Every structure is written in structure tokens, then in C-alpha cells.
Chain A
């Protein structure tokens, strides 16, 4: 423990997991039939609406109105790419796709890091009013986004450095998403970090590690599953957000994200809704890639068997 550990999720050899010969580490014996039955049933139930949407995205509106989506699965097929064609060739599609990355990545990084600092302080530092303050933070989760818009925007309007106004910039969107994402992020991480065993932090402290060292080399690596789930959700929420982007970026912004572009596919009275179905799958790709990419952090034993009873 006195050696300088490397900042990594896996090198923290606080309590090296005993080598297990079995490949089925952490898994119980062979799962019984009912386990498979329940899982398959759930998957089917959950997939049916999504499958219906997928089928609808390859049909014209008139076809979808005429017969159920399930009838399209048998020949003769009448599938069409026209919905995807329209969505992908919409003016500004790729620009706004890039804008979405520009907005989502910093907004996710900001929330996760700032929340991790705060969660660590709430979990492992002593200060007056700690629980009251924490309850206020979590309580803010219930504040509906809509009621915050006008006060915050008015505040930003009166607040400018020289020529630089916050309203209408991409910076304002990052900051807003960070503010709105923090209550949940702090709550989730404080809970996870708070359940880490006290002895680890005590022995690190005895070895002379300061809070920064303990945070970066113990708390963060051991909280990887919670951090990964937080990244997944924050990324997803920011990616799919329409309201914050519209309101903080203002009209006809060059930084408009994909959600804003895709919201304008339908006409005034909701005509051409069939494009929405294709758009849903197009905009879903990136969050799903993030979800799948972070799955490897949901592997048993990554925290070195940290959480004890």
C-alpha cells in the first residue's frame, strides 16, 4: 500500500482477489429453466413496442394506418427506406449530429466529475449541516426543469462580461445540463461511495495519503460501476434533451443539437409523423454505443470485492 499506485480502475490491489480457477467466477450453478423463461418473457414484452416502431420506420404512413405492423413481417414485403432517406438528408443533419457530441460530452464529464467530488465530501468528510445540506441537494431532484427556466435566463441576461453574454452560447447549455444533472449524480455516487469500507480509507490515511490521493486512487476506481451507470444516464438524458437546448441556445443557433433538428421533421399539425420513427432509431445509435461500450465496467469483481457485509 505504500507503493505509488497507478491511477486505474484495475490496478488497485487493495485486496487482491484470490485467483479462481473457475471461469464462471461469481456465477452460481447452472440457472434453472424458470430463469430463462422469465428473462425471455421480459425481453419479448419489452421488445414488442420497439420492434413495432422499427417496422413502422420502414413503412409509409398510409401502410401503417392500413394494417398492423406485425402483418408487414410476412411476404409480400412493402418496406421502404424513404423515411431514413428523408431524415438523413435533412439540411443540417450532420452539423447538428456533431453539435450533439459537442454538447453531450462536456455536459457528461462536468456532471460526473463535479458530482464525484461532492459525493466524496458528503460521504467521507465531516462538516456541520452535512445531512441537511445533502437532503437539500437530493430534494432539488424534484424541481421541475420548466419552472427554473425563466429565473435562470433572466439572471443570465443581466450578467455579462463586456461583449460576452452567456445566453445563446454552447457554454450556457453545458452549464445548464450540469446544474440539472447534479442532484441525481450526487445522490447516486454518495450512496455508492458511502458504502465503501471505512478501513480502506483509514489505512490509506495512516500511510500518509491525503484526501486527493484517497479520492483518485481508492474512491474513484472502486466506484467504477456506479460511475459507469451515471455516465450512461447523463449521456442519454443530455443527448435526448430538447428543451434545455432550445431555451439556452435560443433561436436559429449554429450549435443546435440533433434533437432540435429532428423535432422539426413533422409539419405544423403533426403531419409526416412517420419520419419520427426513423429519426428515433438514427438518434438512438450513439447512446446505445455508449451503453454497450460501458458494459465492460459491469463485470463482477472489478472493485476487488470491495463491498462487504
Chain B
């Protein structure tokens, strides 16, 4: 067993040598006052695009941007506030936590930005969402997403863009024959399962009951069991009934591959409702080519609210008021910076100064155009609700999709959460 001892010795020496070698070859750190640390939800290919976007800034200003993507911004920033160990600039999970962190004096006001210039460059409804209760700007949008787009397979859908919801349903019913259903819906998404359905409901409420009801609903003053909201669920329920695979498929299929049957031959469905980022998934999950799909905007339901658009976006805020952080935020808001990511794909700019021509393909050109020309724009409603309400909404969508017969008890359950969640 002496051999064993020798072997253990060799192992220790080997590990030591490995670590020493690694220690010697790694580069010394850069000086901290010329770096700007950034944490955001962008990772993978998005992270690469973000780094490409800040590369010119690093060259011009001499600052080094150190970026880290995070899967759970909320947990990382909440604990970061406790530890005092915060990034200079960070993506924010939503308007709710943003205001809370500003109240705790962790998030710094962005007084150095010209609000009116920023506001006029962004689509209506965006800029004000970044304000705190005291009216100070604390969060800005660089990246936007257009929601409520209805995608179709160009080979199978020949009815163009229907003007109204009824026209859409008539055309879809006529085309859906045999194996082919009207919709492809999948709402599974790990810890956030249900969110694709909340987007559906937001689109329906905005177009069916109008922006006023929408705003009251988001603020918690419109009950879930009210006729307007209930009707929206029933409308969504009709789409669920006419969807591929039935309720088991809907609740068990990940949203990212939900549209795959649309690209099969013969197609499993004709239409898929999703936000503009979904095209990345068409490519990755179904090997679809850009020519295979196109979209039209969610049609009007009630003609008095025509031209409504829902969307979302990524808020960015500042935790450490340093010259580097200010310079970076100013840079990120410029159309020149955003055009870099736009050209790389998968990015709808929140700045109207980015030319439509900069977008790399027809679908993203169309989505950006839709956002810039929107008459009524509303930000993602569930994202603005308090955390507990938002989560209950997600879960309600899942249980509704599983069994539509439970609608009344689901809505009264949501009413109960609403009473509790909006309390300060």
C-alpha cells in the first residue's frame, strides 16, 4: 500500500503544478476605476451581441466593460443590495423591483440624461415606465420587443393579414382541415410556465375592452371576475380549444418548440401567437428558414381601439453613480450603439432613430415599423403587476389551459390574490 501513498503524493503534486501553471498564465486584473461592471439578463448569443455593441464605447472612452449574464437577475440584485456588492449598471427585472430598489436608495437617479430627448426618441408609453414615484428617471429602455404578433408558415397560410379578429377566425376555420388545427399553443416554460398565455390575454383585453380597462386591470382596480376580463379569458379559451394537440399538449409543451408542428408537412397548425423574439427559436428548434415564416399583427377586436400594440422591453438602471457608468448609459441610448445590435439580429430597438433599413430581415423590419407607428401602445401588463399577482396570473393560465371548466374558480382565486398583492 506504499504505492497508494506515492500515488496520492503524485496527485497532490500534479494538482499543485496545474494550479501554479494556471496562476502564472492568467492575466493580472485591470485597474478598477477604468472598468464598468454590467449585469444583465442577456446571455449566450445575446451576450455576444451586447459585447459587440459596447466595443466601440470601450475604444473611444478607454473604459473596460465587464459584463456578466445572469439567469436570475432578481435574486442576484436583491442579494447584491444586501452585500453592497453591486454592478455599476444592471438590467432590471421589471418596473416593480426597480421602484422598490430606488426607494431603498440602491438604484441611482439618471438626472444626467435629457429626459425629453430620450422620451421623444422612444415609442409612446416606454419612457414613463422608467420613472420612480417621485417623478425621477431611474430606468431606461434600450431593447424592445413587440408582442402580439401572429406568425404563420408562408406555404400554408394564404389569407394575408385579416383586418379583424372575426375575419381571422373565419379564414382560419376554413383553412384548418383534416390534421391541421388553427393554432399552435405551448405554455410550458420552467419556473415561468404560463407566460405565453398572459401575453395572449393582454392582447385580447387591450383590443376587446380597450386601454382604460387594461390600465385599471394592471393597477389592480379592475377585478378578474369582471365581465370584461372574463370575456377575454373566454376568447382565449376558444383559441385553446382550436389548438394543436389539445390541452395536454398546450400545458406540457415548451413555448420554444410549441410552433414546431406549424413547419411540418402537412402542418399541425396554421398560426402561432408570440413576441418578435420567437424567430430565433424557429431557427434553432425547427431549422426554419426566414422565408418559411412571416407574421401579421394581432387584428382589431373592437374597432374603436384600432392600432393597439403590446410590447415589452429590457430596463437598464445604475447602481453606482460613477463617470464610467454615466458614460456607458448615455452611449447605450444612442441610435448608433443600438444599430450595432440591430444589425446582428434578434433586437428591436427602443430608439426610433434607428433606421428601419438597419434591420437584417423582412420580419424584423416589419416588427420595428409596427412599434414605431403604434397608435395605442401598452407595456406588458403582467410584468407591471406585483410579483405575487404576476405569478398567480401565470399559474392561472396553466390551470385554465388544463381545464377551461374551472374558469370561475380561477378568476375568484385571482381576485383574492389581487386584494392581497397590491397592499403596500
Contact = CB atoms under 8 A, between A and B. Distances in A.
Interface of A: 8-10, 60-62, 65, 95, 98, 101-102, 105, 146, 149-150, 153-154, 156-157, 167-168, 243, 246-248, 250-254, 256, 260, 263-275, 293, 296
Contacts of B277: 268-269
**Shortest 5 CB-CB contacts between residues of A and residues of B:** A250-B85, A153-B83, A264-B43, A251-B87, A264-B69
Interface residues of B, number: 53
A63 to B, nearest CB: 9
A149 B85 CA distance: 13
A181 B85 CA distance: 24
B115 interface: no
Contacts of A168: 83, 85
B19 A154 contact: no
B281 interface: yes
Interface string B33-46: 00001110111111
A53 B71 CA distance: 22
A10 B3 CA distance: 11
B280 A150 contact: no
A10 B44 contact: no
A260 B68 contact: yes
Contacts of B248: none
Contact of A252 (B11, B39, B257, B284): B39
Contact of B44 (A8, A156, A256, A265): A265
Given A62-B285, A296-B4, A254 B29 contact: yes
A60 B286 CA distance: 10
Nearest to B85: A250
19 contacts: A10-B4, A65-B257, A101-B15, A149-B79, A149-B82, A157-B82, A168-B83, A243-B75, A251-B37, A251-B39, A251-B87, A252-B38, A252-B68, A267-B43, A267-B45, A268-B46, A270-B256, A271-B280, A271-B284
B189 A270 contact: yes
- Residue with the highest number of chain A CB atoms closer than 10 Å, among B37, B67, B79, B254: B79
Contact of B19 (A98, A153, A275, A293): A98
A22 to B, nearest CB: 18
A168 B86 CA distance: 10
A247 B256 contact: no
A9 B5 CA distance: 9
Contact of B82 (A150, A252, A256, A273): A150
Contacts, number: 137
Given A252-B38, A254-B29, 16 more contacts: A98-B23, A146-B75, A154-B83, A156-B83, A157-B82, A157-B85, A247-B76, A252-B66, A256-B68, A264-B71, A268-B42, A268-B43, A269-B256, A270-B256, A271-B280, A293-B11
Interface in B86-110: 86-87, 90
B78 A150 contact: yes
B44 A267 contact: yes
Interface string B41-72: 11111110000000000000000001111110
A101 B21 CA distance: 13
B281 A271 contact: yes
B174 interface: no
Nearest to A158: B84
B1 interface: yes
A153 B256 contact: no
A267 B67 contact: no
Contacts of B280: 267, 271
A150 B189 contact: no
Nearest to A160: B84
A156 B70 CA distance: 23
Contacts of B47: 264
A291 B83 CA distance: 35
Contacts of A10: 1, 4-5
B83 A61 contact: no
A272 B68 contact: no
A49 B356 CA distance: 47
Contacts of A254: 29
Contacts of B41: 268
B85 to A, nearest CB: 3
A243 B75 CA distance: 9
B80 A272 contact: no
A165 B66 CA distance: 20
Contacts of B281: 269, 271
A246 B70 contact: yes
A264 B44 contact: yes
Contacts of B71: 263-264, 266
A65 B76 contact: no
B257 A105 contact: no
A251 B256 contact: no
Contacts of B82: 149-150, 153-154, 157
A176 to B, nearest CB: 11
A120 to B, nearest CB: 22
Contacts of A243: 75
A268 B255 CA distance: 13
B22 A264 contact: no
B83 A275 contact: no
